[in-house]
Every structure is written in structure tokens, then in C-alpha cells.
């Protein structure tokens, strides 16, 4: 049995991870949960799954009636309720934990990923920013842990695209890989022009045609920033140069990604559009357990469409690729500016097309440095956010 610590338990990935735990009680046990603010939901999850270690990132909620009820539950079982960002990170170090599922949103997840691997725990990663911002620090830790484990399972990607590529590469010689194809649904605005995007509202951008995701990731998907982040992730995860990573729009989302080889062969990973499948694989590896959802029926699938992404209209993809190719701290700058821009758009302080404009402005202002430490990345993240908010306020 594997014991997991689930960071971000009330979000889309978190709740679906608990679905997988519920389906496989003989294989998985959840020992710790972390949430940002949803104390009542955390209490329900803790009671349903017998979890006695809980952390709440928002310290302002300490002392509330719901928090006291959750505290009583945790302490009755010999555990504890704690508050603050450091408390969330400390859950990764619990001695009973085998696997940390990092489903935190944003750059806040980087330090948790680093501590998880540093402590020798397996990292099941759904936090894109861990690799986008800190891939130069995270991947050497994962490589070191893989050598100690004697396998390649220290860092298991939960993203459907990277989980698909991971599975397509099993048993293959990386020297024979000529291209990684990262698939994209195209988001809710596929085919629209820049003029048509000028008046887009948050409600329209949140309406993803295929996946059920949180607000920030949904906006990133609509701007294609999500694909840009995934290109950078793929570069780090699979040690693949950027000129061998391509994005292809596949609106049906039946093909989750593909790998092309030197002899012209292509492996494609297909399946039901349900995140519980890649979540379960990340937790079951190297085994495969009974499917958590109904399998894809190819007789009813219909057609599969493919097209190139429109990077002139959806400029965030091009900006993310540029940040990745330059490397160093520029992806950190890009990511921080994007997080601010998305927040500003959702609060109607920035127009939709202003997201890319904000990101580009901050990237040009700060440039890139060599990555040295988590502390350095934190300082640059802070500086980039400050500049991004200046951009928003001056609009």
C-alpha cells in the first residue's frame, strides 16, 4: 500500500485524486491534506478518508469555528492541524508518506516539490510551475532519486499530456526520439481572431469545451499559455530540446499526446478525457490498476481533427516558448507575470488581450539570469509580480 500526502485537495485534481483513493482502498491511503482556504471541505475530506494531518495555507482562518472542529478531529487521531505556507510544505516530510501529490496552483507549489524530492519521496506532479519556474533545480533532484531507487519513477507527471508522453516512451531509446507532440484542445476560442477576442469576459474564458478545471488553469487554456507551460515542462521532464517539441491542436482531446521516432513511427496515447486516468497511473506506476472510468469507445469517437496553433492570435504560447528557449530565470518572470495578469483579468481589471501584453512587458523589463537557488527564484518572482501589477494599474 502507498501512503499519500495530497496538496491542494479541494481543487479539481485534488478531488479526483481522492476519487482514485476511494476506488483503490487496498492500494492507497491518504495520510495528509493541504488546502488554501476551504476548511469545511477539508473537514469533510479528512473525516471521509480518515486523515489526521491537515494544513491550511491561509493563516487568517485559524481560530474559526470550522478550524476548531477540524483541529479537534485531527488531534483526536494523534495528528495535527497547522496553518501557513510552511505548514503545507511540512506535510511533505511526514515519515509515513510515500508519495506527495502536488496539486497546488501557481508558483507556491515549487518549494513543496523541491522538499518532497529532497526528502526522498515520490513526487506525483500536477503543479506546472514547479518545472516551469524551477526545472533547473527540480530535475537534478529527481535524477538523483531515480539513481537511488534504480528506476525512473521518482517524478510522475499527472498532466494528461506528460503522462501520455511518459507512457509512450516506456521501453524506448530516447536517442531514437525525433519529436514530442503535445496536444491541445484549442480552448473555447479556437478559430477566433484578435478582434473577436477584445471583448472576451471571464465567464466566457472559463467555459472550457472539454476539461473541468480550476479558474486559473481554465484561463491559461483559453490563452494557450497552458500549452506553453507544458512545452517547458516537457523540455525538463524528457530532456528534449525545444526544436523537437511541437504543439498540435486536437479538439476532440482523445489523443493526449504523441511521440515520433527516427524510423517515422509515431506512438499516440488515447483515452477517455478524464483526469482520473493519468492521476491513477502516476500513483499505480509501475503497475496498472482497474480503470477508474469507462474506457473510450472508438466506435463512437467519430473523426479526429488536427491543426497548427495560431500563435499570432494566442501570443501566450509564443511567449512561453521564448521564455523556455532563453531559459534561466525568464520562465520564472513569465510565469509570475501571467499569474498576476490572469488574476487581474478575472477581477475585470485587465482585458483579455492584456494578459499577453502584460507578460511580454514584464519579460522585456527583467530579462534572464542563471538559476541559482529557490531563494533567488522567490525574489525574482516577487519582482516580476510587482512589475505586472504596475502594468495592470497603468492600463
Sign of CA dihedral 73, 78, 84, 88: negative
Q: Judge whether 13 is annotated as a binding position.
A: yes
The rounded distance, in Å, linking the Cα atoms of 134 and 127 is 11
Inter-residue contact 248 to 308 (CB < 8 Å): yes
Distance of CA 306 to the CA centre of its chain: 24
96, 217, 227, 237, 317 from 338: Cα distances, Å:
36, 11, 13, 22, 12
Q: Which residue(s) pair with 101 in the sheet?
A: 6, 124
Q: In terms of Cα–Cα distance, which of 226, 149, 146 is closest to 184?
A: 226
Helices and strands (DSSP H and E) totals, the chain: 16, 11
Q: Is 128 annotated in some ligand binding site?
A: yes
DSSP string for residues in 4-62 = EEEESTTSHHHHHHHHHHHH-TTTEEEEEEEESS-HHHHHHHHHHHT--EEEES-GGGT
**218 CB-near residues (< 8 Å, 6+ apart):** 205, 206, 208
Q: Cell numbers for 242, please give them.
A: 525545444
DSSP letter for each residue of 80-102? EEEESHHHHHHGGG-TT-SEEEE
Contacts of 146 (CB under 8 A, 6+ apart): 152, 153, 154
The verdict on whether residue 159 carries a ligand-binding annotation is yes
How many other CB atoms sit within 10 Å of the CB of residue 289?
Answer: 15
- 364 annotated to a ligand binding site: no
Answer yes or no: is 160 a known binding residue: yes
Query: Is 246 annotated as belonging to a binding site?
Result: no
Lookup: cell for 223: 490563452
- 287 a known binding residue? no
Residue 277 marked in a binding site: no
- Convert 266-300 into a string of H (helix), E (strand) and C (coil): EEEEECCCCCHHHHHHHHHCCCCCCCCCCCCCCCC
Q: Is 212 annotated as a binding residue?
A: no
Does the annotation flag 71 for ligand binding?
no
> 212 vs 99, 167, 209, 221, CA distance in Å?
24, 23, 9, 11
- On whether 327 is known to bind a ligand per the annotation, the reply is no
Q: Which residues are annotated as a binding site?
A: 10-13, 37, 127-129, 159-161, 185, 208, 214, 221, 226-227, 230
Annotated binding site for NADPH: 10-13, 37, 127, 129, 214
Binding residues for 1-deoxy-D-xylulose 5-phosphate: 128, 160-161, 185, 208, 221, 226-227, 230
Residues in binding site for Mn(2+): 159, 161, 230
Amino acid at each position: 500500500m502507498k501512503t499519500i500526502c495530497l496538496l491542494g485537495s479541494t481543487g479539481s485534481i485534488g478531488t479526483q485524486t481522492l476519487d482514485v483513493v476511494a476506488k483503490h482502498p487496498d492500494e492507497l491511503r491518504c495520510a495528509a491534506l493541504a488546502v488554501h482556504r476551504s476548511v469545511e471541505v477539508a473537514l469533510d475530506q479528512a473525516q471521509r478518508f480518515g486523515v489526521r494531518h491537515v494544513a491550511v495555507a491561509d493563516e487568517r482562518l485559524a481560530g474559526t469555528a470550522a478550524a476548531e472542529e477540524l483541529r479537534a478531529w485531527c488531534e483526536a487521531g494523534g495528528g495535527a492541524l497547522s496553518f501557513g505556507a510552511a505548514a503545507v510544505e511540512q506535510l511533505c516530510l511526514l515519515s509515513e508518506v510515500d508519495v506527495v501529490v502536488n496539486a497546488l496552483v501557481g508558483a507556491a507549489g515549487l518549494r513543496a516539490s523541491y522538499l518532497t524530492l529532497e526528502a526522498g519521496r515520490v513526487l506525483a506532479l500536477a503543479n506546472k510551475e514547479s518545472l516551469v519556474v524551477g526545472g533547473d533545480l527540480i530535475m537534478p533532484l529527481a535524477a538523483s532519486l531515480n539513481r537511488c531507487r534504480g528506476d525512473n519513477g521518482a517524478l510522475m507527471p499527472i498532466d494528461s499530456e506528460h503522462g501520455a508522453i511518459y507512457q509512450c516512451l516506456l521501453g524506448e531509446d530516447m536517442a531514437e526520439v525525433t519529436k514530442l507532440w503535445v496536444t491541445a484542445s484549442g480552448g473555447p476560442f479556437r478559430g477566433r481572431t484578435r478582434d473577436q477576442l477584445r471583448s472576451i469576459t471571464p465567464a466566457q474564458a472559463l467555459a472550457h469545451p472539454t476539461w473541468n478545471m480550476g479558474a486559473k488553469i481554465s484561463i491559461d487554456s483559453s490563452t494557450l499559455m497552458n500549452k506553453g507551460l507544458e512545452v517547458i515542462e516537457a523540455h525538463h521532464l524528457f530532456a528534449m530540446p525545444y526544436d523537437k517539441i511541437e504543439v498540435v491542436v486536437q479538439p476532440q482531446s482523445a489523443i493526449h499526446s504523441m511521440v515520433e521516432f527516427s524510423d517515422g513511427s509515431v506512438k499516440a496515447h488515447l483515452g477517455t478525457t478524464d483526469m482520473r486516468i493519468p492521476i491513477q497511473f502516476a500513483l499505480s506506476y509501475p503497475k496498472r490498476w482497474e480503470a477508474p472510468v469507462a474506457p473510450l469507445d472508438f466506435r463512437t469517437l467519430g473523426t479526429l481533427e488536427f491543426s497548427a496553433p495560431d500563435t499570432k492570435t494566442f501570443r501566450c504560447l509564443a511567449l512561453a516558448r521564448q521564455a523556455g528557449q532563453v531559459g534561466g530565470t525568464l520562465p520564472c518572470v513569465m510565469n509570475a507575470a501571467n499569474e498576476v495578469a490572469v488574476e487581474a483579468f478575472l477581477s475585470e481589471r485587465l482585458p483579455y488581450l492584456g494578459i499577453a501584453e502584460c507578460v511580454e512587458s514584464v519579460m522585456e523589463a527583467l530579462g534572464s539570469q542563471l538559476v541559482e537557488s529557490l531563494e533567488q527564484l522567490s525574489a525574482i518572482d516577487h519582482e516580476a509580480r510587482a512589475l505586472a501589477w504596475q502594468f495592470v494599474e497603468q492600463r
